[in-house]
Amino acid sequence: MTPADLTAELKRSARELGFVLTGACPAVAPGGITHLAEWLAAGHAGQMRYLGDRLAAYAHPQSILEGVRSLLMLGLPYQAGEPASAGAGEGRVSRYAWGSADYHDVIHRQLRKLEQRVRQLQPSVRVRGVVDTAPLLEREFGQRAGLGWIGKNTMLLNRHAGSWFFLAALLLDCVLDYDAPWTTDHCGTCRACLDACPTAAFPQPYVLDATRCISYLTIELRQAVEPQLRPAMGQWVFGCDICQEVCPWNRRVSGDSEWFAPRPDLNPLSLVPLFALDDDAFRAQFRHTPLWRARRQGLLRSAAIALGNHPVPEALPALRQGLHDADVLVRTASAWALGRFPLADVSADLTQRLAVESNPDVREEIRQALAGRNGKRSENDG
């Protein structure tokens, strides 16, 4: 089988499996490794230390598959309609996490089918499919494979699919028929993504400071969110789509995904019931969804911040419960959120908790709340 025939058959099979974008490129050392090293040195990765720990592995796809010669880059769509408005006591979840399944599970299942197809066509070829957990600069290789260009918000953009897709790769130790790399940047003078970011997470075009990104704050961060960033998080409790929602290239995208159609309880997410979940109940509800990555304490921390950003009386029982939660992160965020309510409604709760609280960070958060330094209080509270 010629490289051209093999590539054409693999692309056809990939499309049948739901990958709307396909492109082949050689396995080479990515030029972006230098940019990645500089980005890490600038501290933009925050607590994502695993990126720096395996920096050397990103230097070549050889670290994933020995003898690799080619990559088939793939895009699987997840855009599933427009988000429902988040009302009082509700939080927003990023579109990719609306479905009942974790995208890793879905994509790995489809990749295994594609791997089987490779072995049927070329039994001697070694192959491995990966999603976003392998040390691979997927966006650069996606651009090398002709799938699109890297936009100012650092997402890979395609003229037809926008950025509403997951990237995956099939690594093979044989030669494929390579596509021409994408060389044109179609962002032009547009700054929509940069200007719309509420936390100013883009210090410059094409550079993301993850430590200010709402997706990082709600998913990766394992400590309290910096107070100055909390109001800008709005009602986002898992991920953020703002820089994609404002992108003109995404206005052209429509359609649903069979795997990632929104569950009614995730678009939007009701926040008050979360505070009644213990670890076992949280596991039962979210174990096989992307929200599991945030863990209970991370999701409740973000939920408390969202409730504080849109204080309604219905949220007070949940935040009072959160103030006495076993986890420090939940207590810290709940204290901050209660401080956004009228003092007359929360003073007794905060004072009683302060009397028994032993953690210094939570104690300080309670003091700030009692002093009215969190904003969102009525002008009569003083």
List the catalytic residues. 132
Residue 237 one-letter amino acid: V
State how far the alpha carbon of 327 is from the alpha carbons of 108, 287, 299, 321, in Å: 34, 19, 12, 12
Which of left, alpha, beta for 218 (phi over 0: left; psi -120 to 50: alpha)?
A: alpha
What does the alpha-carbon distance between residue 296 and residue 226 come to, in Å, rounded to a whole number? 19
φ, ψ for residue 170, nearest 5 deg: -115, 120
Q: Is the peptide bond before 268 cis (omega within 30 degrees of 0)?
A: yes
d(Cα 132, Cα 222) in Å, to the nearest integer? Answer: 20
- Residues facing residue 270 across a β-bridge: 90
The answer to whether the beta carbons of residues 241 and 95 sit under 8 Å apart is yes
Q: Any idea what DSSP says for residue 166?
A: E
Question: Which two tokens mark 13?
Answer: 């099979």
Task: Tokens for 286, please give them.
Answer: 């979210």
Q: In this structure, which long-range contacts are made by residues 206-209, counting pairs with CB atoms below 8 Å and at least 24 apart in sequence?
A: 206/150, 206/151, 206/152, 206/154, 207/39, 207/44, 207/154, 208/44, 208/153, 208/154, 209/42, 209/44
Q: Any bridge partners for residue 165, and if so which?
A: 77
